[in-house]
Homo-oligomer: A and B are copies of this chain.
């Protein structure tokens, strides 16, 4: 007890940082989920709501960034603490980006609202569900300090990539069938592509979690199929 005393404040601050990051992650996940829901259900209200919340997300990211700098200024961290705080800085950026994607998709949802959908959206929500799962895995890995959980993220990203490919092929076909669909289709294409990107960012997050926990630089590519050129 006496021994750990010197680190009490440091650890309190570090968990506070982690908590902020979790909150950010929750917000990003929600933005993604709700915007896709809005897209699917053509709900402008929800889409606007996502856009309104984007500011809060940006602000939280800014705060995390400043608090990380503060943490460095206060504790001169080394080793695991240093890895963790720098990782948090990085992860915050990735998460913010994911939140932004939520905004982008919400905009798409608003554009699409009221227009008849050319097909029922099935794969896109599936992608989103997978992304949520990835994000949760990565975050609980960080929270519970269990590297194994973060590793499970990588194969899931392959799944997301597959889904995107599939959607793309499908949409291309649909477009070619009826050029009137082109506008809507490119929009959806974009959404799919965006979700694929979100997957990439979550993969980055997972890599960071692993680095902060183990000190090893782990590249997701080691855990998944080689990317075709």
A186 vs B217: C-alpha distance in the bound complex, in angstroms? Answer: 35
Chain B residue contacts of A68, Cβ below 8 A: 86
Q: Which residues between 23 and 79 of chain A lie within 8 Å of chain B, taking CB atoms?
A: 51, 62, 65, 68-69, 72-73, 76-78
Asked if residues A107 and B190 are in contact (CB atoms below 8 Å), the reply is: no
Asked if residues A110 and B193 are in contact (CB atoms below 8 Å), the reply is: no
Asked if residues A183 and B172 are in contact (CB atoms below 8 Å), the reply is: yes
Chain B residue contacts of A179, Cβ below 8 A: 175-176, 179, 182
Nearest CB in chain B: distance from A196 CB, A: 11
Asked if residues B73 and A86 are in contact (CB atoms below 8 Å), the reply is: no
Nearest CB in chain B: distance from A190 CB, A: 7
A179 vs B182: C-alpha distance in the bound complex, in angstroms? Answer: 9
Asked if residues B217 and A62 are in contact (CB atoms below 8 Å), the reply is: yes
Asked if residues B107 and A83 are in contact (CB atoms below 8 Å), the reply is: no
A229 contacts the other chain (CB 8 A)? yes
Asked if residues B190 and A182 are in contact (CB atoms below 8 Å), the reply is: no
Chain B residue contacts of A90, Cβ below 8 A: 89-90, 93
- CB-contact partner of A89 in B78, B86, B172, B217, under 8 A: B86
A189 contacts the other chain (CB 8 A)? yes
Nearest CB in chain B: distance from A1 CB, A: 28
Nearest opposing residue in chain B for A83, CB measure: B69
Nearest CB in chain B: distance from A215 CB, A: 11
A10 contacts the other chain (CB 8 A)? no
A82 contacts the other chain (CB 8 A)? yes
Nearest opposing residue in chain B for A190, CB measure: B193
A73 vs B76: C-alpha distance in the bound complex, in angstroms? Answer: 7
Sort A-B residue pairs by CB-CB distance and give the 3 closest, nearest first: A76-B76, A179-B179, A176-B179
**14 further interface pairs, Cβ-Cβ under 8 Å (given A176-B182, A193-B193):** A72-B77, A72-B82, A73-B82, A76-B76, A89-B90, A90-B90, A90-B93, A110-B229, A172-B183, A175-B179, A175-B182, A176-B179, A176-B180, A186-B186
Q: What are 30 residue pairs bridging A and B, where the CB atoms are less than 8 Å apart in the complex?
A: A51-B229, A62-B217, A68-B86, A69-B82, A69-B83, A69-B86, A72-B72, A72-B76, A72-B77, A72-B82, A73-B78, A76-B76, A89-B89, A89-B90, A90-B90, A90-B93, A107-B229, A110-B229, A172-B182, A172-B183, A175-B182, A175-B186, A176-B180, A179-B179, A182-B182, A186-B186, A186-B189, A189-B189, A190-B193, A193-B193
